[in-house]
Chains A and B, each alone.
Chain A
Amino acid sequence: MTDLAQADGTHTNGASVPVPVTTRKDWSSDQEVRWCPGCGDYTILAAMQMLLPDLGVRRENTVFLSGIGCAARLPYYMNTYGMHSIHGRAPAIATGLATTRPDLDVWVITGDGDSLSIGGNHLIHALRRNVNITILLFNNQIYGLTKGQYSPTSEMAKVTKSTPFGSLEQPFNPLSLALGAEASFVARSHDMDRKHMTEMFRRAHAHKGSSFVEIYQNCNVFNDGAFEQITGKDHRSEMLIPLVHGEPIRFGAEGEHGVVRGPDGAVDVVSVADVGESALLVHDEHRENPGLAFQLSRLSRGPYEPTPIGVFRDVDRPEYGLEMTRQVDAVIERKGEGDIAALLRSGSSWTVE
């Protein structure tokens, strides 16, 4: 290795200097933000820029990577290192970066088209390998940048520019997909609650390995109100189910609703008064088996039924880049640093006088 990344995971530059105190302004680039007025992306950007000064991290060790789409413009607005790459490929690019530079915080900013259509393969494999990256999926259930075609998370029968008679496709459930891809950290939030988003980002950042956060994000131009039934101020208490580790899963203005696991193993929404608090499912983020998290991810069939938000799963798994570095270090430990002259003679050589 060069001295780009030190063995202790810090960088030579400033490693001995305390992390400077920063504000939101320090993390904002000089580029004008060009999302449509009223777009949910503004809240997400603000949450991110306001969180970073609190994380105790350095701008120079922070990288935002993205693919293509509205969400993918976010790196341009962050005063960090960043790359706006090509459609769907950010997890692949991030894998190379995070694997060779364990000293960096690598954030991947993506959308439902970017990561679930064209980049689906890269997403699932990054999650499977547990590469040390934090993936934020802005799910607005529509293609915004190409002006309003249905996306892989659009509901069936949806009428869009490319489906004038309604979509015929079963949508992906992003959390189910991530859990099925062996993700070690899976969470959901929404763009109407900056505080909750911030907390999810903080948790995702703290997790070692791949973190996956789905953010319900309103596209006010092409799919306005897609999540209004659950994220609207007046509906939240009845429609959002906050998951809190170690706590019974309950919601409603008075906590009158809850989630139970039936005798057949299925999870369901019940009235707490009917079953008693002790019957409620107690949320466990660290459960090794992802089955229950998977069921919770499918408790709601869409953003019109009570929908869980929060951390669904947070488990420890070996982190890919770290393991790769360990393998390299172990071989160097055993064989010593490689020598080119010896390598060239590693087969049978002969000498011509």
Chain B
Amino acid sequence: MSDTTMNEHESEVLDRVILRFAGDSGDGMQLVGDQFTNVSALFGNDLATFPDFPAEIRAPAGTLAGVSAFQVQISDHDILTPGDAPNVLVAMNPAALKANVATLPPGATVIVNVDAFEERNLTKAGYDVNPLTDGSLSAYTVYEVPMTSITTEVSKDAGVKPRDAERSKNFFALGLICWLYTRPIDGTAEWIKSKYEGKFLVMEANLRALKAGYHFGETAELFASSFEVRPATLEPGEYVNITGNTATAWGLIAAAKQSGLPLFLGTYPITPASDILHELSKHKEFGVRTFQAEDEIAGIGAALGAAFGGALGVTTTSGPGVDLKAEMMGLGVSLELPLLIINIQRGGPSTGLPTKTEQADLLHAMYGRHGESPLPIVAAKTPSHCFEATIEAVRLAVKYRTPVILLSDGYLANGTEPWRLPDVADLPIIDPDFASGPNHIDEAGNEVFWPYVRDETTLARPWAPPGLAGLEHRIGGLEKADGSGNVSYDGDNHERMTRLRAAKIAGIANDIPPTDVDDEDGHADVLVVGWGSTYGAIAAGVRRVRARGHKVAHAHLVHLNPFPADLGDVLGRYRRVLVPEVNMGQLSRLLRAEYLVDVVSFTQLKGIPFRAASMESAILELIRTEDAGDGRSDAVTSSVGGTPVDGTVPADGKVSR
């Protein structure tokens, strides 16, 4: 497209930029954020995204409750998070400005749709005075762009009604941002054409708005220059931009292929897990069967039934759905059948914060069933890591004949990052190792099949789906006699079976990699231990601390039950251990209980990921107190917020011992 070729306008080179698109939940902010991300990914930037939207599909227009935002950081070097504070905020209305202005650092750029700043919208957003005129934005560079009026104007002669044309203003914003950051719009134009094929007027209005936004940047002489963020020098390979939920779905398909097991997903729609169902239901060419059950219980129940029949049974859920599945997980522990439970954690308790992220289900995964019912827990740490973590969870489930919980969360689920595609030939082979014949000689000397005869190494029992003559057997939720699997109420047998089930799960520690510690020269005094989606923020915080000349180590746990066999030794090598979590300190409790290590818990519960800056300051505080020789004092606690005396919540998380 010749009309969008870069002209010789001035462009300033930046190493990275953080953009935040904000508007009403019906304004299409997620869509333009996605498009800008894809364009930047194809351009070769490293990036990380953070969609941040309300639970309501269409909250009252123009209100703070209805603001939907999409943040993306693009960079010419590898980055770990979507960024702390946006350099650029695109605000489609006063509410979007009000909801996000506090996150902006001084000097940030604010681009507003000035058409939306009229009295009614200002009132709805709770502004008494127009912030564009009262000087309250003086710390920022504000560009007032009449997005709505230009968008409707350009579509006038295309036969699009003004009300419909107005809906394309998100593409105007996208076009403008593409110009400002020197991105071509050709790819987006093609995308619009295919997406709205058959809806000519919508397609035309969107295309015109996109181009109008782009040309506005070029010709309006509002902006001194455009900016350029050059491609990042990433490891050579083929990349795609991927969300955690897509990576999880693809991981399931790959695990099914690698194990030769048919994939069966039994699930019930719930935010933010539903996209895994959507993605899998599209891929029947892999023999995938998706079952949208009548409830959460039936979802996991059907998955367990499929597993009994020799399929790879999977269920996906979040929040309250996890509670409902607890009983069936317990049955899975008793039956010792492979089953994967994927929990895309969200803010709780109860319905909590459906669209906001949290890591507060770790202790539920550990202990959320009655009786002694241990099961392995695997946690993904970045959106693309969901692929690998899913395959690993399936490997453990199949090899050890056990339900496995895979923990992801809302941030990983919807966030994206570039993913260097693995070589399919390198994916692990998972051997279902089905039972093929009798495994025991009974008292009468007959060859028989006993469902609870265990493998000596793994302590796993045989998996014998129906269909083989001679292997008929009955299993159930009642305690079973060791070996034969017959119902047994014998106390000694129950103790033996309980300890066997526990030993089987504990033994997995010998079948997983040792703790991966990032400690440059092994001389750090402080170790940061994290799990799940805090990976990016911790790693970024660690980088910042090192850039200041300090030493700090980082270990990020993927296996949370059992822990890697060497974790106790690793913890013992450091004088202080900091455990950041988006919960009240759940991993901290486990580490303290397991290893008697006096870890420092650093927590935050805002429904959003940690910021690298708060991670940096928490690590620095701990190093500082350590250097001062009072490492065990409570000074750590109070200096980074600590337990607030007045009961207010500290701005940057809470450190406690």
**Contact assessment for A95 and B424 in the assembled complex, using a CB-CB cutoff below 8 Å:** no
Instruction: Look across to chain B and name the residue whose beta carbon is closest to the beta carbon of A331.
Output: B284
Q: With CB as the reference atom, state the residue of chain B lying closest to A12.
A: B467
Residue among A14, A78, A81, A100 with max Cβ neighbours from chain B (10 Å) = A100
Q: Are B472 and A338 in contact (CB under 8 A)?
A: no
Q: Which residues of A contact B477 (CB under 8 A)?
A: 68, 84-86
Question: Would B465 and A4 count as touching, CB distance under 8 A?
Answer: yes
- Contacts of A12 on B, CB cut-off 8 Å? 467
Asked if A2 contacts B468 (CB within 8 A), the reply is: no
Residue in A96, A104, A338 whose CB lies within 8 Å of B302 = A96
B465: shortest Cβ distance to chain A, in Å?
6
CA distance A83 to B466 in the complex (A): 11
How far in angstroms is the closest Cβ of chain B from A49?
Answer: 14
With an 8 A cutoff between CB atoms, is B421 at the interface? yes
**Assembly CA distance A100 to B289 (angstroms):** 8
Partner of B298, one of A61, A125, A344: A125
List residues of A (112-143) whose CB comes within 8 Å of B's CBs: 121-122, 125
Inside 8 A of A202's CB, which chain B residues have their CB?
Answer: none
A352 and B284 in contact, given A84-B477, A99-B289 (Cβ under 8 angstroms): no
Q: Take A4-B310, A96-B305 as given contacts and tell me if A347 and B241 are in contact as well, using a CB distance cutoff of 8 Å.
A: yes
Chain B residues with CB below 8 A from A84, complex form: 474-478
CA distance A323 to B469 in the complex (A): 28
B38 at the interface (CB under 8 A from A): yes
Query: B420: which A residues are within 8 A, CB to CB?
Result: 352
Check if A159 is an interface residue, CB within 8 A of chain B: no
Q: At the interface, is chain A mostly helix, strand, loop or mixed?
A: mixed
User: How would residues 240 to 268 of chain B score, 1 for a CB under 8 Å from any chain A CB and 0 otherwise?
Assistant: 11100000001001100100111010100
What distance in Å separates the Cβ of B233 from its nearest Cβ neighbour in chain A?
8
Q: Which of A319-353 contact B (CB under 8 A)?
A: 324, 327-328, 331-332, 335-338, 340-341, 343-345, 347-353
Q: How far is the CB of A281 from chain B (nearest CB, A)?
A: 35
B283 at interface by CB-CB < 8 Å:
yes
Taking a contact as CB atoms closer than 8 A, the residue among B287, B301, B472 that contacts A59 in the complex is B472
A13 touches B469 (CB 8 A): yes
Interface segment, B118-126, B327-335, B358-366, B514-522? B327-335
* Chain A residue nearest in CB terms to B295: A121
A273 at the interface (CB under 8 A from B): no
Q: Is B234 an interface residue (CB 8 A)?
A: yes
Interface string of B271-286 (1 = CB under 8 A from A): 0000000000001111
Q: How many A-B residue pairs have CB under 8 A?
A: 226
B301 touches A93 (CB 8 A): yes
Residues in B with CB closer than 8 Å to A82 are 473-476
| Assembled-state Cα–Cα distance A12/B465 (Å) | 13
Q: How far is the CA of A76 from the CA of B478 in the complex (A)?
A: 11
Q: Are B469 and A101 in contact (CB under 8 A)?
A: no
Set of chain B residues within 8 Å of A328, measured between Cβ atoms? 284, 287-289
Q: Chain B residues near A63 (CB, 8 Å)?
A: 466
Q: Shortest CB–CB separation between residue B429 and chain A, in angstroms? A: 13
Q: Roughly how many angstroms separate A327 CA and B378 CA in the complex, as a whole number?
A: 33
Query: What chain A residues lie within 8 Å of B478 (beta carbons)?
Result: 84
Residue A158 interfacial (CB < 8 Å): no
> Which residue from A332, A341, A351 sits with its C-beta under 8 Å from B284?
A332
A181→B175 CA distance, assembly (Å):
53
A95 in complex: contacting residue of B234, B305, B330, B471, CB < 8 Å: B305
Q: A337 contacts B467, CB within 8 Å?
A: no
Q: Is the CB of B286 within 8 A of A338?
A: yes
Listed residue (B260, B261, B307, B309) with the most chain A CB atoms within 10 angstroms of its CB: B309
- Which residues 299-319 of B sit at the A interface, judged by CB distance below 8 A? 301-311, 313
Tell me the nearest residue of chain A to B236, going by C-beta.
A352
Residues of chain B contacted by A86 (CB below 8 angstroms): 327-328, 330-331, 477
Per-residue CB proximity of B217-246 to A under 8 Å, as 1/0? 000000000000000011111111110000
- A93, B304: Cβ atoms under 8 Å? yes
Q: Would A94 and B294 be within 8 Å (CB), given that A60-B469, A81-B474, A335-B285 are in contact?
A: no
Chain A neighbourhood of B293, CB < 8 A: 92, 95, 125
| Distance A104 CA – B305 CA, assembled complex (angstroms) | 12
Whole-angstrom distance between the Cβ of A146 and the nearest chain B Cβ: 15
Considering the complex, give the chain A residue whose CB is closest to the CB of B331. A86
* Closest A residue to B43 using CB positions: A350
List the A residue with the shortest CB-CB distance to B237: A352
In the complex, whether B140 has a CB less than 8 A from a CB of chain A is: no
Which residues of A are found within 8 Å of B250, using beta-carbon distances? 343-344
Smallest beta-carbon distance B489→chain A, Å: 11
Chain A interface bracket (under 10, 10 to 19, 20 to 34, 35 or more): 35 or more
| B239, B264, B302, most chain A CB atoms within 10 A | B302
Binary contact readout A166-196 vs B (1 if CB under 8 angstroms, 0 otherwise):
0000000000000000000000000000000
User: Does chain B have a CB within 8 A of A1?
Assistant: yes
Q: Are B310 and A338 in contact (CB under 8 A)?
A: no
Whether A97 and B44, one on each chain, are in contact in the complex, defined by CB atoms closer than 8 angstroms, is no
User: Which of the residues A13, A79, A347 comes within 8 Å of B467, measured between beta carbons?
Assistant: A13
Closest to B231 in A: A352
Q: Are A122 and B301 in contact (CB under 8 A)?
A: yes
Interfacial chain B residues near A65, Cβ < 8 Å: 305
B295 to chain A: which residues have CB within 8 Å? 121
- Are B467 and A103 closer than 8 Å at their CB atoms? yes
Contact residue among B242, B297, B469 (Cβ-Cβ distance under 8 Å from A92): B297
Given contacts A4-B465, A76-B474, contact A101 B310 (CB under 8 A): yes
Interface residue? A29 (CB, 8 A): yes
Tell me the smallest distance from the CB of A74 to a CB of chain B, in Å. Answer: 10
Q: B474 near A340 (CB under 8 angstroms)?
A: no
* B466 and A81 within 8 A (CB): yes
Whether A75 sits at the interface, judged by CB under 8 Å, is yes
Known: A86-B327, A340-B257, A352-B235. A100 touches B311 (CB 8 A): yes
Choose from A93, A125, A336 the contact partner of B305 (Cβ within 8 Å).
Answer: A93
8 Å CB interface, B410-445 against A: 420-422, 424, 427, 432
Knowing A331-B284, A332-B287, the reply to whether A344 touches B421 (Cβ < 8 A) is: yes
Does any Cβ of B come within 8 Å of A245's Cβ? no
Looking at the assembled complex, report how far the CB atom of B251 sits from the nearest CB atom of chain A, in whole angstroms: 10
Chain A residues lying within 8 Å of B313, measured Cβ to Cβ, are 96
- A-side contacts of B424, CB under 8 Å: 340-341, 344
Q: Which of A2, A59, A121, A331 has the most CB of B within 10 A?
A: A2
- Assess whether B335 is in contact with A83, with CB atoms less than 8 Å apart: yes
B187: chain A residues within 8 A (beta carbon): 348
**A2 touches which of B44, B254, B262, B427 (Cβ 8 Å):** B262
Q: Which chain A residues in 52-74 approach chain B with CB under 8 Å?
A: 58-65, 68
CA distance A76 to B467 in the complex (A): 18
Q: Which 10 A-B pairs have the closest CB atoms?
A: A84-B476, A96-B305, A96-B302, A92-B301, A338-B286, A93-B305, A92-B298, A96-B306, A97-B305, A331-B284
Q: List 5 A-B contacts (CB under 8 A).
A: A4-B467, A11-B468, A14-B469, A85-B476, A343-B250
Other A-B pairs, 6, CB within 8 Å; known A64-B474, A85-B301, A331-B284:
A83-B474, A86-B331, A89-B327, A92-B301, A95-B301, A344-B240
B interface list, Cβ under 8 A from A? 38, 41-42, 44, 187, 233-242, 250, 253-254, 257, 260-262, 264, 266, 283-289, 291, 293-295, 297-298, 301-311, 313, 327-328, 330-331, 335, 420-422, 424, 427, 432, 465-478, 486-487
